[in-house]
Structure 1
């Protein structure tokens, strides 16, 4: 078999060339491409299988796999191979899935699998946007029926100017990180983090991004026309319209009545389940094979009734108007031992967030293909089955939980104080206690309360709200604070979080083929009004961050030491720093720039550790009086350790006011004596005088009476030369790895770059 000829296509996006290549790799896949920007390359393959019988959903699976060889690295796990997907890989998988899913034929039941993985990572160009475009291109040239193509870009903003597909370095300077995907006509997916961006700027960025992705649409359409495979015929299950009409006549009025009656989520679900069971039994009394069709017909009518009530009458399932927010109540200081806690309840959705403070050394270490090495602010989200009244096995975090945690984290990153101002690692955990829609945004609200209860000086409180959409033709209704049924039966879940001044996070999941910028503008303004209302409710409970931390939270004191003294603090193999931590009950972390963090839960331990560190780095000063221990005696004098690992020599003539015949007549090893530093020569030898202290001389008098000033002591026990070099070894560090490393601080989110 001869070597296949590769087909290469290019598109100019944001002034840079994106190259798509196909025909050489993975010939048995339905469609396979590589997509390249700079030296970053992502491979994508899309394949379709047969129909999965007995299911009522579309079995699409999308996986992005992070291969460490792409960055020339060996995985850091014990087995030195990739294991379960990292959070970053899962988030990219979700990013790819969301714009692809709405464009498959409705009621399609064939298995479709999209797999992407990294081939090359140049540390300049992020791989996530490349993966979305690669997946779309693979589907376009495959035999899989799909309503694409889509294009995806990242939009940044530096000094007020928008930029397409910024590099990692440019992202650090940008106050916007907007990822957008869409078709030629409309936006399909939005994922955004921002440094408090106003709504009008966000709309501009969305329109800018949608225009910028058009060349990607063009090149994929060209690929499909020139090398695309014929699309396979698939079986699309459709409901018998006469069955749906019979069901509509039978149950529409009863559904209306049950929606009008006062109810909780569980009461409504039980009522509708009972009605469904009764009606399906009626419809299948003579033909049991109609069970599935009758059930689907009932669900279709339920969807119609709920949507029509909203569009025609402006009445939602729980009786609210389109802009009405469910009742809200909040509480702080729920856990007496957590460093901070906030409880946020909105309707039947309830989230408890608990905050923990740690030292910089406790930041999360990341092992991925980005330049980000550590993360000091972490947000984890747990969604247990009891929150929806269900019983399920607990099997670790789901993709949804990871995604919701990342969204809440992104919403709060812009208001977290930089590490130099607030030198703590922060971990927040949001426990969903009850769910009826919008738990991710409730997590944002609960997290703000927890941070303020902790005493974290956040720049501004953040609140979030989930917006929904019901759209039929040209008619639409935007819903504020959607609940579970509206999310399930609606066309959009549009989550917006921010402060009073602007947006910090935005995420859109859409089930239809896109919405326009005008519709998004209205949704953002409606969300802003809701956000202000929610913030007012939260601030009634705690109007500002507590002025101080809780008594049991660690207090971190920062001191700056000379870089060449770091080794003296750490000691050989970390001996000294470990001893200080154990004896003072503190945690000590040191950065390579000489910043020392002392974490303690009581003032005594903190002050003791600080004093010991200061003594370790103190430099002997001529004329200063020290009390030290005699470490060695000779015929001509005694060597006295006046500071840790720093000693000087008292000549025999300076030991006493009277003439001394033998050094040991006055002092011996282990004795403590008080001495004055009378001189330090160019090699670092220190000259001491006990006589100056006994006589009460000034420095000048002591130096004048010192008859043998040419002799002197040496630092570190009189070792040959070397000045005041600490005993930790030739280089600072001594042997124990320090937290912090040579990583720069991120004022926006607490991440540190490699």
Structure 2
């Protein structure tokens, strides 16, 4: 049957391909997501996550019928067959750290939509910039037999040939070999001769389809779509993984919420950041590097006051890292009441004056203030100025 194909058919998705063989036409759309979006699997299978998911939809209008679109065993089976055909050519997670969803939509059908789904999936994956090792194509082989044992193997069967024939043999693969097979037969069995002939004819047809597909897209796109998330990978020391995650996951959740990103951390310290753009990813990398950075005596930070106590204040110097500003370290003058000088949310410059063996950090404002006798007044003036700005009032100066 006549072949036609096209990529980038849908401009907004991460990758798309449309493949037509005769009256059978399949549109495939590929979506890329961070690894954290992998499908979670329940059951006794040792594989707990799927990073490549292929879905197959067969709406009634594809065969000229009305009705609601539903997912049944046929749709699940066809989707699984195409998924198995594609998996052998996918890159490793190290080379391409994305979760991939491929959705095939049957626009019209007259035989072998599952194999057309394999072809359209390959086109869409290449368009999306997924570095598959080789394109995959599929073909459906049929069989007509008589009572005397004579037989004819059919290539690229249509709906009528599938209905009246004795075999529906789906063969998918690359130019180098087969990646998936599925056979339905209506006879008691087939001979080696039938199998040999069917596989050879399927190989010839598959190579012809692959040649056609290469004329549409000859190589994988150099870059992923501008609409796809940008994945950045960094490595942190294993002993620092806990610091990045934080107590109860507070630190990593805070980063994800603040920057609207996804962060996935492996046991070996590999951190994968999924962001909408490179600029955001760079900011997250800087934040993580700040978290894993060792705090040393003498370092100076602009800290945020997060908690007040009667003996001092706790301030956050880095995401997930807090230190104590003792009441005696707030000013060169005596401070009677911490709340009269500091408030939660204040940003103050502090100096690290001690880091003990347990990692507890002591901070000092006084160490940066010098010998001025008006240190407390300066802090209070700054505090009053911030309050006046929030209330819309200005402090009167002069006469």
TM-score by length of structure 2 reads 0.79
Alignment of 1:283-302 (within 5 A): none
Q: Count matched residues.
A: 363
Q: Could you say which residue in structure 2 is the equivalent of 1:206?
A: none
Q: After alignment, is 441-450 or 335-344 more displaced?
A: 335-344
Q: 1:420 aligns with which of 77, 84, 94?
A: 94
Distance 2:330 2:136 in 1: 68
Q: 2:183 aligns with which of 505, 508, 526?
A: 508
Alignment of 1:135-154 (within 5 A): none
Alignment of 1:285-684 (within 5 A): 326-391=1-66, 393-394=67-68, 396-472=70-146, 473-563=148-238, 565-571=240-246, 574-621=249-296, 624-629=299-304, 641-648=316-323, 660-662=332-334, 669=342, 670-673=346-349, 675=351, 680-684=355-359
Report the secondary structure of 2:111's partner residue.
coil
Cα shift readout 1:650-673 (whole Å, capped 9, x = no counterpart): 8999999xxx45479xx9544522
Distance 1:632 1:386 in 2: 63
Instruction: Give the drift of 1:414.
Output: 0.9
Report the secondary structure of 2:97's partner residue.
coil
- Name the CA shift for 1:367/1:634 in 2 (closer, same or farther; >3 Å): closer
Report the secondary structure of 1:544's partner residue.
coil
Alignment of 1:223-234 (within 5 A): none
Distance 2:65 2:102 in 1: 25
Distance 2:333 2:309 in 1: 12
- Name the CA shift for 1:653/1:582 in 2 (closer, same or farther; >3 Å): closer
Instruction: Give the drift of 1:328.
Output: 0.8
- Name the CA shift for 1:389/1:631 in 2 (closer, same or farther; >3 Å): closer
Q: Which sections of structure 1, spanning at least 5 residues, go unmatched? A: 1-325, 696-754
- Name the CA shift for 1:638/1:530 in 2 (closer, same or farther; >3 Å): same
Instruction: Give the drift of 1:492.
Output: 1.4
Distance 2:45 2:11 in 1: 38
Q: Which has the higher contact order (CA 8 A, sep 6+)?
A: 2
- Name the CA shift for 1:641/1:434 in 2 (closer, same or farther; >3 Å): closer
Cα shift readout 1:29-52 (whole Å, capped 9, x = no counterpart): xxxxxxxxxxxxxxxxxxxxxxxx
Distance 2:76 2:311 in 1: 72
- Name the CA shift for 1:694/1:531 in 2 (closer, same or farther; >3 Å): farther
CA RMSD in angstroms, aligned pairs only: 3.3
Q: Rg bigger for which structure? A: 1
Cα shift readout 1:369-422 (whole Å, capped 9, x = no counterpart): 43332222111111122212223x326212221111110000001112222322
Distance 1:694 1:467 in 2: 84
Report the secondary structure of 2:107's partner residue.
strand
Distance 2:199 2:366 in 1: 81
Distance 1:387 1:584 in 2: 43
Retained in 2: the 8 A contact 1:649–1:686?
yes
Q: Which sections of structure 2, spanning at least 5 residues, go unmatched? A: 371-399
Instruction: Give the drift of 1:500.
Output: 1.3
Distance 1:460 1:580 in 2: 38
- Name the CA shift for 1:546/1:663 in 2 (closer, same or farther; >3 Å): farther
Instruction: Give the drift of 1:616.
Output: 2.8
Instruction: Give the drift of 1:363.
Output: 2.1
Report the secondary structure of 1:330's partner residue.
strand
Distance 1:635 1:404 in 2: 68
Distance 2:257 2:326 in 1: 38
Cα shift readout 1:618-649 (whole Å, capped 9, x = no counterpart): 32145655443467899999876432343457
Retained in 2: the 8 A contact 1:455–1:547?
yes
Distance 1:557 1:564 in 2: 21
Distance 1:533 1:564 in 2: 54
- Name the CA shift for 1:591/1:484 in 2 (closer, same or farther; >3 Å): same
- Name the CA shift for 1:663/1:395 in 2 (closer, same or farther; >3 Å): same
Instruction: Give the drift of 1:474.
Output: 3.9
Distance 2:306 2:79 in 1: 58
Instruction: Give the drift of 1:505.
Output: 0.4
Cα shift readout 1:495-525 (whole Å, capped 9, x = no counterpart): 1111111111011111112112233122212
Distance 2:307 2:26 in 1: 66
Q: Could you say which residue in structure 1 is the equivalent of 2:381?
A: none
Q: Could you say which residue in structure 1 is the equivalent of 2:378?
A: none
Retained in 2: the 8 A contact 1:635–1:663?
no
